[in-house]
């Protein structure tokens, strides 16, 4: 599969022949100014929670592509009121889509939509099919709930974890998370976008290396083949 980084927690992924977009906060992000949101292909849009730094471009992408939104019930309902289609999940629930099975898992964070509406409880996604299995954590603290992932889902090939601290776990806790989820290949997100979450890249990689884990920090626009 191919994974492309669009800054903050925004990623594009090709999974099971479909184009997925995760947490599209692209056009307001100065670091992603070279990414043309109008050109992104999407068959599905996955939203971890309702915060603006995860949902900003959702409406424009969904309108243009007619991609359904996969998120929690409250977020999907909010977009449903704007005539955008979606598939609601809630924590612990999974659904077999035409590209993979998607399970909505716990995140320790908060969730509010851009107009102040209640955004339900925030989450992450574990996504698997016969070819690949991965975890997109969304915004979260380190939590013991992560230990449930290897107990309930296929072995992860990689995971996308927030590492920027302040609003989510920092890289030290994320390195512990990589042990909880029993995953050796971690792609960092939710760092460097604004002042509170600027990190030391070398120190972050060292924290993972000390546990025998690999931390990959992608450039905005960079694509990884996995």
* Whole-number Å distance between alpha carbons of 60 and 66: 10
Segment lying near Ni ion (by CB under 5 A), choices 51-59, 79-87, 141-149, 174-182: 51-59
Closer CB to Mn ion, 75 or 100, in the complex: 75
* Whole-number Å distance between alpha carbons of 226 and 213: 16
Segment lying near Mn ion (by CB under 5 A), choices 100-108, 134-142, 143-151, 205-213: 134-142
192 scored as a contact of Ni ion (CB under 5 A) = no
Q: Which of 43, 57, 139, 165 lies at the binding interface for Mn ion (CB under 5 A)? A: 139
- Give the residue among 8, 79, 73, 15 at the shortest CA–CA distance from 44: 15
Closer CB to Mn ion, 51 or 205, in the complex: 51
Half-sphere exposure of 178 (CA within 13 A, CB side): 31
CB 32 within 8 A of CB 220: yes
Radius of gyration over alpha carbons of the chain, in Å?
A: 16
DSSP state letter for 76: H
Count of residues near Ni ion by CB under 5 A:
2
51 scored as a contact of Ni ion (CB under 5 A) = yes
* Whole-number Å distance between alpha carbons of 76 and 60: 15
57 scored as a contact of Mn ion (CB under 5 A) = no
Considering only residues 125 through 164, tell me which ones interact with Ni ion, judged by CB under 5 A.
Answer: 139
Closer CB to Mn ion, 105 or 153, in the complex: 105
Closer CB to Ni ion, 51 or 103, in the complex: 51
CB 50 within 8 A of CB 113: yes
57 scored as a contact of Ni ion (CB under 5 A) = no
What residue ranges bind Mn ion (CB under 5 A)?
51, 53, 139
């Amino acid at each position: 599969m191919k994974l492309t980084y669009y800054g903050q927690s925004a990623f594009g992924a090709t999974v099971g022949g479909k184009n997925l977009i995760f947490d599209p906060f692209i056009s307001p992000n100065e670091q992603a100014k070279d990414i043309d949101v109008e050109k992104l292909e999407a068959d599905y849009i996955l939203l971890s929670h309702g915060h603006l730094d995860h949902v900003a471009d959702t409406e424009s992408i969904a309108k243009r592509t007619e991609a359904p939104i996969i998120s929690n019930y409250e977020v999907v309902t909010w977009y449903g009121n704007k005539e955008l289609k979606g598939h609601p999940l809630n924590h612990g629930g999974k659904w077999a889509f035409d590209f993979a099975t998607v399970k909505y898992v716990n995140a320790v964070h908060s969730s509010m939509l851009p107009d102040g509406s209640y955004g339900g409880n925030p989450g992450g996604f574990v996504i698997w099919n016969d070819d690949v299995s991965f975890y997109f954590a969304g915004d979260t603290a380190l939590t013991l709930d992560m230990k449930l992932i290897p107990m309930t889902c296929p072995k992860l090939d990689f995971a996308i974890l927030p590492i920027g601290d302040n609003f989510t776990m920092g890289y030290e806790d994320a390195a512990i998370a990589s042990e909880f989820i029993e995953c050796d290949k971690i792609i960092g997100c939710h760092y460097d976008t604004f002042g509170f979450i600027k990190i030391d890249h070398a120190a972050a990689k060292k924290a993972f290396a000390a546990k025998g884990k690999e931390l990959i920090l992608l450039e905005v626009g960079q694509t990884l083949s996995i």
